[in-house]
Structure 1
Amino acid sequence: MSIRFTALLLLIGSASLAWAQEDALTLPASTVSAQTREALSAPSGVRLDQPIRTGSRLDLTARETPASVSVIDRSVIEARGARDTQEVINAMTGINASANPGYGGFVSYRGFTQNQITQLFNGINLGYASAARPIDAWVVDRVELIGGPSSFLHGAGAVGGSLNYISKLASRDDQLLEGRLRYGRFDESEISFGFNQALGQVADAAHFMRLDISRGSSNGYIDRNERETGSLAFSLLSDLTPNLSHTLAVEYLEDREDSPYWGTPILNSDGGTMKIDKRRRFENYNVADGRYEQRVRWLRSILDYQLSYATRLQNTLYYYDGQRDYRNLERYSYTPDNSQVQRGGAYQQRHDQNVLGNRLTLTHDRQLFGLSSRWAAGLDYSRLRQTLHPRSGGDFDVVDPDQFDPGHFDDIPGMAMGLQKQRRHEVISRSLFLENHLQLTDRLALLSGLRYDHLEMEVTNYGAVSDTSPALFERRWEPLSGRIGLVYDLTPTANLYLQYSTSADLPAGSLASATYSNVGLFDLSKGEQWEVGSKFDFLDGRGAATLALYQIVRRDFAVRDSTDPNLTVQAGQQTSRGIELAGRLQVTPVLLVEANYAYVDAEYDEFNEAMDGVSVSRKGNRPINVPDSVANLWLSYSLTPALELGADMRYVDSVYADNANTLKAPSYTLYGAFTRYRVDEHTTITARLRNLTDEIYAKQAYGEQYYMGAPRSVDVSLDLRF
């Protein structure tokens, strides 16, 4: 408890200082702005005057947006040593993410998980959480987060919030050449390279290209678990006329794991706190030839046309092609006396997914009733196709955890037959959206947004046909979602905001994999949020902070009927209430402190599940893998102009592994430290220690398994930039 309140008190103290500094708050806007820019020149996750793409289509800054929004840009990614996108988002306020192969894009935020958190790639919604497996951070320029329902921006889903991973693109900057070599414990290595180049003389160049390549590998902290990753991103920016530009962007991403780690079985007890046998901390119970692979290809064509000083037209044509392959033994549990491990849950699967789409956006600045007004309107079209090839099996064998032969996948009865095509999904989405920012007075602004979606889903069943698995079924929905918010400037450096927003999503599952029993004849679930907050600078711009209070209610999702456990009805309801704080303070010219803290009270208002043929109410229980509190803290101290020292802390509260709330994974705290030495203006060496105390902790918990986080490790990186 003391750790979470340390972060909370730090932020509350910062806020108190802000209101106490009356002189700072009454300085002329130009003076404050200049001081703020100077103080925020260091890498920081709290930048209030930075435009946010994910919170609006109007190029509003975080300060102008009536919502909890945050950004981790390239400078912060590098300063904190994030190796992949999972580590990037775990530094954001309230986020708790993990990457179990079966839940590759798992995110918990504001009391919601899985498909209730939309994960976008360059603003594109793939409609499937498994498509959001962590990728190498090298090709990522920034990650943005908006809290709460955001269907009005990104389409169906996003009850809890939206994350947007934005890739590096060619720019008109001067020539840039950069690279990285990194090596650490478990033979973890990275080789990355990138450059941005004007094609011709910089002064009159019309074409600019960027290329980024990265390769990573690791022997894994779990026995027999090896991983290789790779990424390639190429983009070409062409100024076709003074007002018209085009960007062509191509990306290829791959990820391969041999004998993936699916979790550690917990010891049998009478319930309560989940415990593992620490002697077998790094044991892998998967088969020897278990496999997870992902191959992703992206193609984007981006046109940007400045029609006039006040009007801009942007069009993005995109294509995504992804293939994910699984071949594993995934479920493990101890025998009653905790002496042997029962292995089962054989599963072979292939996802063949592609998405073709186009987004057209028109933005326009004009007067409305004599008031300054900005508009954004557009059309969205996407066609998602995915074919699933699942084959599964039950219990396989019982092994002595101290010594056993892991065996081979084809040894499992029925698995040697290979893939079997089961279902094909096609989802076509057509959308209209409109957004407006209206400056009502010098201090008060109104932001409004509305989106209409027309969704068509067609599912073809190639397996056995039954009443609950017809050969073909189709569904159509037409959700309408929106947002309205007010921002009031108390001073030039502090504001208050109020927002109401709505969302719509599937009652269960996702559009890319929904079955007839998930969807049936159900309508979409509905979500709504009220949020109030404040964003402000303080101490002459040396610090900045944000505060948000919210309530989200999700209604009408699929649950078991309260009287007949064989029936699924659309009667579920969940409420989440919480607070989020984030702040940064340049304590001295050489000492920077940053922190964020989130608390959520999430519970089911109406929820039933089937247990041994009986429908059981879980009303009042907390959803699985939702921590009450998440906190992060970073300290960075420049000992000399060339030498920087730093430390960090992350706290995650306990989570439940079952809807009955009888199994709980304990809370944990991770500490880290780093030393960075700038050899010269081009060369930097960084040594980073992670999980300093070698904490044993569960990044995710489900059923009788405990997905363990990494132990203590150290790595050293050499960064070059010319």
Structure 2
Amino acid sequence: MPIALRVAPRASCPLLALSAALYSTILVSSAARAAEVVDDGPVPTTLDAIEVKARQTPLDASAGSTSHLALDVGDLPASVTVIDRQAMDVRGVRTTQDALAGIPGVTVAAPPGNGNAVTWRGFSGSQVSQLFNGIDVQYATIAARPVDAWQYTRVEAIGGPSSFLYGAGAVGGAINYVTRLADLQGDTSRGQVSIGSHDDYTVAFGGNLRLGTRRVPQALALDASWRDAGSWIDRQQREALAIAGSWRVEVAPGLQHTLALEYQDEDNHRPYWGTPARQRAGGRLSVPEPAVGRNYNVGDGYYGQDVRWARSLLEWAPGEGETLRNTAYHYDALRDYRNVESYRLTPGNDAVVRSGALLQRHDQQVWGDRVDWTRTATLAGLPTQWAIGADASYNRQTRFPLSLPGTVDTVPLDAVAPGRFLDVPGMSLTYAADRTNRVHTLAAYVENLTSLTPSLSLLTGLRHDRIDLDVTNHRTATPANPSRFARRYRPTSGRVAFDWALSGQQRVYAQYSTAADPPAGVLSTASLATVRDFDLSTGRQVEVGARFQSRDGRAYGTVAGYRIVRRNLATSDPANPGQTLPVGQQSSRGVEVAFGWKPGDALSIDGNLAWVDARLDAFTETVGGVAVSRAGNTPANTPARVGTLWADYAFDDHWSAGVDLRAVSSRYVDAANTLSTAGYATWGAHVRWKAGPKGELVLRGRNLGDRTWVAYALNANMVYLGDPRSWELLLRRSF
């Protein structure tokens, strides 16, 4: 797999130089220690260990990226969710989007122009950070587009403001997708094949192989998945390949290095952009029956992405309770679009007006290095954990848009193959650069957990970022779009939380956290107009919660109540509706619940519920040249209630069956709250046959009620529909 090697930018050189020195120091020190080890030749074959464990709940899982400290979910005073590999397999997760149903209150849709459009705690888009292995590419609204989940071992999420962990953004929450890595503990191999409705085929395999010597143990891991999928949408076709490989070496006792490479290639032919909707009495949007399943994109419409990741992970444990880690990474992505993207019904609702022809290319590269040190010690005689780190990154993106926003044509409701992209007058396959955005970030952070008493602990965290934005305009310069401009931001964010253990199984907590949000949401695509008069938006949250689990591990539950306020939003100037002011405010309050219960060995139940009251407290938009206040209204695409339930029953050692339910309340389409989409409830079921401990055959049905439902409202004229009834037969086997 080719990996582009580029010279790191000057702004990152100080930390990269420190990283190089760190590597050298660790290697020299560990080499001296390794010299004392005698090479006894190849590693002898050992039998798999048999370990007896008490029953565990999700609260016993590692908190992962939701803290820089080594904590379990149950020990972290925050609303944290971890969906591990086992849960993904049991729930039939196919893509990273499917996994997010396990996070209380989250709704998600993936229109091609929106990527993974997540709404959480009343906030959406770039206000919810999406990370890959703890790395933010600062363009998650597109870069986090769903990919096949086979290569991921877990998904981690923390609700509410969390800029103190990985930088600006994350007012509504942060989600992290974690890739499988090579493991020195054992050899494994696995594979699966599936066939589904609409000619949906997948093949996936993976494995871990130990090799090397007793002195220098090594392991190689490889996971690959391929999917060729048709669609219930007319003539939409998706082909996707994802590969993740890693090589881990124990250079010396206490010192390990991992090289991880990933590749993703996705081609979507004639991608579905949405369905035209009509406005019924009362402002409810609905879809005409003849339009359901129709594809109004041009016959040769296309979306594709080519993504490459390279990471170098160095971990050194110089002493007991002390760890030093360094992560150097490079991300390279190329995304291409050529589509007619906007549709609306004619006044008689008998034809579709198409507009918005767009040729677009994104060329993005990210370089970065993060170093952190963790230590367990005492502070004034009290047990304490420390995490101290620094982070440097350089994000460069050039976009090449050719947009023709006007009307293209009008086609019948039952159109099958309406034209070709190059038939649109004025369109050509010409890639002319618009502007290049360069975002330099340097950051330092510290996190501490101190046990004040045997039952009371204090968690604190602080992060300071130095963000420099430099934009080059490749087109004709104007006063509103100069040839070059720059902006500088210096946000500081943090959290403080108390955790009180009422008993070994019950805990309560209270926390206060803050976040900083870039103006216009994404600095890697920002124009002068979106950042000229604005500093960063700020967010703060107060949260209280409780967690419990039974002594036998058969039941657990979490509950969190929160209030978030986000300030300094862009809002229209009432005195001059053509201008904007940074005086807006948005807030939300809500409750989230997650639970699990296993009353016996046969039956297991898991689920989550969430309620949110989200408000535009101070917001004005321009309508027909007039500034209109939307204060008190609900943000678009924000449901007040979301719930999910999974139940599984094992009839014997071989046969089991289960059902899943998902319900989402109605959502407003616009800031005026005059238009809305209906709520929905869908259900699915599965039957599983286990062929011994290592193989299983699963028949799964989704949306068995064949409900037509709106996954996302794109605007007043278009909605993005969710999938209808579908079936899947899957064979999974480990070796």
Q: Tell me which interval the TM-score lies in, with the shorter structure as reference length.
A: over 0.9
| Correspondence for 1:697 | 709
| Correspondence for 2:229 | 218
TM-superposed CA distance for 1:418, in Å, is: 2.1
Q: Decide which of 54, 62, 70 is 1:38's aligned counterpart.
A: 54
TM-superposed CA distance for 1:610, in Å, is: 1.2
- Specify the SS of the correspondent of 1:307: strand
* Kept in 1: contact 2:78–2:511 (CA 8 A): yes
State the alpha-carbon separation in 2 of the partners of residues 280 and 455 from structure 1.
46
TM-superposed CA distance for 1:311, in Å, is: 1.5
Cα deviations by residue, 1:617-660 (Å, 9 ceiling, x for unpaired): 11111111111111000101000111111000001111111111
- AA aligned to 2:651 is L
State the alpha-carbon separation in 1 of the partners of residues 253 and 532 from structure 2.
53
State the alpha-carbon separation in 2 of the partners of residues 392 and 380 from structure 1.
37
| Correspondence for 1:77 | 88
TM-superposed CA distance for 1:280, in Å, is: 2.4
| Correspondence for 1:622 | 634
State the alpha-carbon separation in 1 of the partners of residues 730 and 515 from structure 2.
43
Q: Decide which of 343, 357, 362 is 1:351's aligned counterpart.
A: 362
Structure 2: gaps (5+ residues): 1-51
Cα deviations by residue, 1:401-432 (Å, 9 ceiling, x for unpaired): 22464101111122115222101000000000
TM-superposed CA distance for 1:541, in Å, is: 2.8
Is 1:235 the counterpart of 2:251 in the alignment? no
TM-superposed CA distance for 1:198, in Å, is: 0.3
| Correspondence for 1:254 | 265
State the alpha-carbon separation in 1 of the partners of residues 287 and 81 from structure 2.
36
Q: Decide which of 571, 579, 594 is 2:606's aligned counterpart.
A: 594
* Kept in 2: contact 1:263–1:706 (CA 8 A): yes
* Kept in 1: contact 2:295–2:416 (CA 8 A): no
- AA aligned to 2:237 is E
State the alpha-carbon separation in 2 of the partners of residues 587 and 562 from structure 1.
59
- Specify the SS of the correspondent of 1:228: strand
Q: Decide which of 323, 336, 341 is 1:330's aligned counterpart.
A: 341
- AA aligned to 1:65 is L
Structure 1: gaps (5+ residues): 1-35, 41-45
- Relative to structure 1, the CA distance from residue 405 to residue 718 in structure 2 (aligned partners, 3 Å threshold; closer, same or farther) is closer
State the alpha-carbon separation in 1 of the partners of residues 245 and 119 from structure 2.
32
| Correspondence for 1:153 | 165
Deviates more, 1:415-424 or 1:474-483: 415-424
| Correspondence for 2:295 | 284
- AA aligned to 1:633 is L
- Specify the SS of the correspondent of 1:619: coil
| Correspondence for 1:718 | 731
State the alpha-carbon separation in 2 of the partners of residues 107 and 280 from structure 1.
26
TM-superposed CA distance for 1:333, in Å, is: 0.5
State the alpha-carbon separation in 1 of the partners of residues 551 and 260 from structure 2.
42
Greater RCO (Cα-Cα under 8 Å, separation 6 or more): 1
- Specify the SS of the correspondent of 1:199: strand
* Kept in 2: contact 1:383–1:429 (CA 8 A): yes
* Kept in 1: contact 2:460–2:494 (CA 8 A): yes
- AA aligned to 2:351 is Q
- AA aligned to 1:421 is A
What is the RMSD of the two structures over their aligned residues, measured on CA atoms? Answer: 1.3
- Aligned residue-pair number: 681
Q: Decide which of 423, 426, 440 is 2:452's aligned counterpart.
A: 440
State the alpha-carbon separation in 1 of the partners of residues 399 and 435 from structure 2.
5
State the alpha-carbon separation in 2 of the partners of residues 544 and 208 from structure 1.
36
- Specify the SS of the correspondent of 2:113: helix
State the alpha-carbon separation in 1 of the partners of residues 425 and 521 from structure 2.
29
State the alpha-carbon separation in 2 of the partners of residues 283 and 580 from structure 1.
37
* Kept in 1: contact 2:294–2:416 (CA 8 A): no
- AA aligned to 1:624 is A
TM-superposed CA distance for 1:93, in Å, is: 1.1
State the alpha-carbon separation in 2 of the partners of residues 608 and 634 from structure 1.
42
TM-superposed CA distance for 1:270, in Å, is: 4.6
- Specify the SS of the correspondent of 1:460: strand
Q: Decide which of 120, 129, 150 is 1:109's aligned counterpart.
A: 120
- Specify the SS of the correspondent of 1:689: strand
Q: Decide which of 398, 407, 410 is 2:410's aligned counterpart.
A: 398
TM-superposed CA distance for 1:471, in Å, is: 1.1
* Kept in 1: contact 2:294–2:414 (CA 8 A): no
Deviates more, 1:557-566 or 1:325-334: 557-566
TM-score (norm 2): 0.91
| Correspondence for 1:492 | 504
- AA aligned to 1:177 is S
State the alpha-carbon separation in 1 of the partners of residues 61 and 415 from structure 2.
56
- Specify the SS of the correspondent of 1:486: strand
Q: Decide which of 102, 125, 150 is 2:136's aligned counterpart.
A: 125
TM-superposed CA distance for 1:464, in Å, is: 3.0
- AA aligned to 1:289 is D
| Correspondence for 1:412 | 424
State the alpha-carbon separation in 2 of the partners of residues 404 and 498 from structure 1.
56
Cα deviations by residue, 1:661-710 (Å, 9 ceiling, x for unpaired): 11111100110100110122332100000001001001100211110111
* Kept in 2: contact 1:268–1:338 (CA 8 A): no
- Specify the SS of the correspondent of 2:59: coil
TM-superposed CA distance for 1:594, in Å, is: 0.7
State the alpha-carbon separation in 1 of the partners of residues 533 and 283 from structure 2.
39
- AA aligned to 1:234 is G
State the alpha-carbon separation in 2 of the partners of residues 382 and 557 from structure 1.
26
TM-superposed CA distance for 1:590, in Å, is: 0.6
1:234-633 residue pairs with structure 2 within 5 A? 234-270=245-281, 272-393=283-404, 394-403=406-415, 405-416=417-428, 418-538=430-550, 540-633=552-645
Deviates more, 1:262-271 or 1:388-397: 262-271
* Kept in 2: contact 1:39–1:586 (CA 8 A): no
TM-superposed CA distance for 1:63, in Å, is: 1.3
State the alpha-carbon separation in 2 of the partners of residues 63 and 405 from structure 1.
54
* Kept in 1: contact 2:234–2:416 (CA 8 A): no
| Correspondence for 1:14 | none
Cα deviations by residue, 1:261-285 (Å, 9 ceiling, x for unpaired): 0110012445511111123211000
Q: Decide which of 675, 678, 686 is 1:663's aligned counterpart.
A: 675
- AA aligned to 2:292 is R
Deviates more, 1:465-474 or 1:599-608: 465-474
Q: Which runs of 4+ in 1 moved over 4 A?
A: none
State the alpha-carbon separation in 2 of the partners of residues 609 and 67 from structure 1.
35
- Specify the SS of the correspondent of 2:60: coil
| Correspondence for 1:708 | 721
- Relative to structure 1, the CA distance from residue 95 to residue 334 in structure 2 (aligned partners, 3 Å threshold; closer, same or farther) is same
- AA aligned to 2:55 is A
